[in-house]
Structure 1
Amino acid sequence: MEQSLMNRKPPWLRAKIPGGAAYNEIRHLVHSYNLHTVCESALCPNIGECWSRKTATFMILGDRCTRSCRFCAVTTAKPLPINQEEPKNVALAIKAMGLKYAVITSVARDDLKDGGAEAWAQTIKEVRALNPQTKIEVLIPDFRGNRESLMKVLDAKPDVLNHNIETVPRLQKRVRPQARYERSLEVLKQSAEQGFPTKTGLMLGIGETKEEIESTLLDLYHIGVKILTLGQYLRPSPNHLPVDRWVSPEEFKSWKEFGLRLGFSHVESGPLVRSSYHADEPWQSG
């Protein structure tokens, strides 16, 4: 499809405009604790909805990423030193927000020997100590395949381990050049083998085929992934990969049905779905 047409978002991609008392309250709280969120740094289209519901996804280890994924709006740059107060501040912010379900992610920190795993573990422990009833979902990088780093995070006992596969095998190098499909599968497999509810997500509309989506979902199911998110790729800037196609709500619905038939326990699938979108829903009955 011509790119000029692809620049015109269809009506189903209209998101809530940020604003209102609750939104401003969360914005003030996040900034007062000197924290970062993926909501802001990754230009998430759901920031208006989520912050108005008084939820946010915290992003630790700074806001500068050592990787240059071609779909992501987070800044690629030399990272600043780790803020030693960050784990405690995340815990305090979660308490102030009264979150019963917290999602924490991070930039990739390939400059650190452990990829930031120690900071991850400390953050989980601080959140748990101050918010013992809060479930914690961690959306982690691949730690360059370092099992010791992954185990350091898992040993801190998050409630859900999330790591995004992002796209199908053929597009991995183009979409996220410093990552590897098999390496991400291994992270997810190790998490599932350790008994953690394991989650991942894909972007659609970046050049994949139907057959490739089916094959990837089969790969994920067979290694033990239980929770799946599927959403529309949106181009953050002209410097990022172009959108290949707009995926209709009807197609997203069919992928949800396909995933549930395969055996995933929960599937969030829709144009504006992102990794942490309605992340608490699989646990509301519990």
Structure 2
Amino acid sequence: MAAPPDGVPTEYLPFRQQRPGLPGSHGRPGWLKAKIPGGEGYREIKDTMRGLGLHTVCEEARCPNIGECWNNRTATFMILGNVCTRSCGFCAVLTGKPTELDLDEPYRVADAASKMGLKHAVITSVNRDELLDGGASIFAATIREIREQVPGCAVEVLTPDFKGDRDAIQTVVGAAPDTFNHNIETVPRLYPAVRPQAKYRRSLEVLRYAKELNPDGLTKSGFMVGLGETEAEMHQTMRDLRDHDVDILTIGQYLRPTENHLPMSRYYTPKEFASLRKYGVELGFKHVESGPLVRSSYHAHEQTSDARKREATVGS
């Protein structure tokens, strides 16, 4: 087997030649055990999504909070199909050649948001690197359509890096989302294994440019722990995000989707997540959501509300 890039643990590459017996879903500590999805709200949202031919990242990425969120009538729409052009080592979304572009999708997403009575809609997508604008125009159309059909509904987007294309970022920010989110995902040393087609500095620049285009809008990012990062590396990543004017930070435990994905190094304790949150608050983030089951869109409405309150307090 060829030597992996500098700093990347040998067992990460290639995925299908990993050592047997690496941590998986068995034997999880109690703080990582989520309830089996069910309930009236869960079934209603599932029926709405299927009826409109829509996808959610909640399902595609196997989010452990799907039951809680759907019963609270919140969901994260995944636009641009459910096949991604990238092969990130942590992600459960299917990699391959995407289907044709669905130009009617923004209307159906807004219809679903209206039917669900959403106050805060989160829109994300797969990577569509084969498109000239990476799908930015569909993001913008979805934002505008939600504004039209669901007045008063806040809109948060969780975007790809668009290969750093400034025109694409302008297209999305120009549609005025309330929150622009792009996840950094991990520390720079682990990028060759975790995000092989992405670049750490490029992702930071996406966030900086989005804030530059709309200084009054909120920017947001997040990363996973449990992939072999060190405390010093996490702290540096957090400082990098603040240096690029990111307002909201999310930190959660990586959980290996299948045996073909990156192995987990260890479970972090709630106390360790609290320590990371404390450090983030000290750095000046307007909101830090840090916990074992935290994902980008977990309590998204509360994150935005808290960030705005802190912003008002600091500005007064």
The alpha carbon displacement at 1:21 in A equals 1.4
Q: In structure 2, which of residues 17, 23, 36 is the aligned counterpart of residue 6 of structure 1?
A: 23
SS at match of 1:182: helix
The question of 1:265 aligning with 2:286 is answered yes
Aligned to 2:76: 57
Q: Is there any run of 5+ residues in structure 1 with no aligned partner, and where?
A: none
SS at match of 1:280: helix
Q: In structure 2, which of residues 48, 55, 65 is the aligned counterpart of residue 29 of structure 1?
A: 48
Aligned to 2:260: 239
Number of residues of Structure 1 aligned to a counterpart in Structure 2: 285
Aligned to 2:16: none
Distance 1:77 1:244 in 2: 28
Contact 2:122 2:155 in 1 (8 A): yes
Rg comparison, structure with higher value: 2
The question of 1:45 aligning with 2:77 is answered no
The question of 1:188 aligning with 2:207 is answered yes
The alpha carbon displacement at 1:269 in A equals 0.3
The question of 1:156 aligning with 2:175 is answered yes
Q: Deviations over 1:98-150 (max 9, x none)?
A: 11011010000001011011111111111111112000000000000100011
Q: In structure 2, which of residues 203, 226, 230 is the aligned counterpart of residue 205 of structure 1?
A: 226
Aligned to 1:88: 107
The alpha carbon displacement at 1:4 in A equals 3.9
User: What is the RMSD computed on CA atoms of the aligned residues?
Assistant: 1.2
Give the letter for the 1:6 counterpart: P
Aligned to 1:229: 250
Aligned to 1:79: 98
Distance 2:187 2:304 in 1: 28
Structure 2-normalised TM-score?
A: 0.88
Distance 2:142 2:67 in 1: 26
Aligned to 1:129: 148
SS at match of 2:210: helix
Contact 1:105 1:140 in 2 (8 A): yes
- Higher alpha-carbon deviation: 232-241 or 79-88: 79-88
- Higher alpha-carbon deviation: 231-240 or 275-284: 275-284
Contact 2:180 2:220 in 1 (8 A): yes
Q: Deviations over 1:259-278 (max 9, x none)?
A: 00110000000000000000
The alpha carbon displacement at 1:3 in A equals 7.0
SS at match of 1:161: strand
Q: Deviations over 1:246-268 (max 9, x none)?
A: 00010001100110011000000
Aligned to 1:218: 239
Question: Aligned ranges for residues 134-153 of structure 1 at < 5 Å?
Answer: 134-153=153-172
Q: Is there any run of 5+ residues in structure 2 with no aligned partner, and where?
A: 1-18, 309-316
SS at match of 2:257: coil
Q: In structure 2, which of residues 194, 202, 205 is the aligned counterpart of residue 175 of structure 1?
A: 194
Distance 2:161 2:153 in 1: 25
Distance 2:186 2:304 in 1: 26
SS at match of 2:300: coil
Identity, in percent, stands at: 56
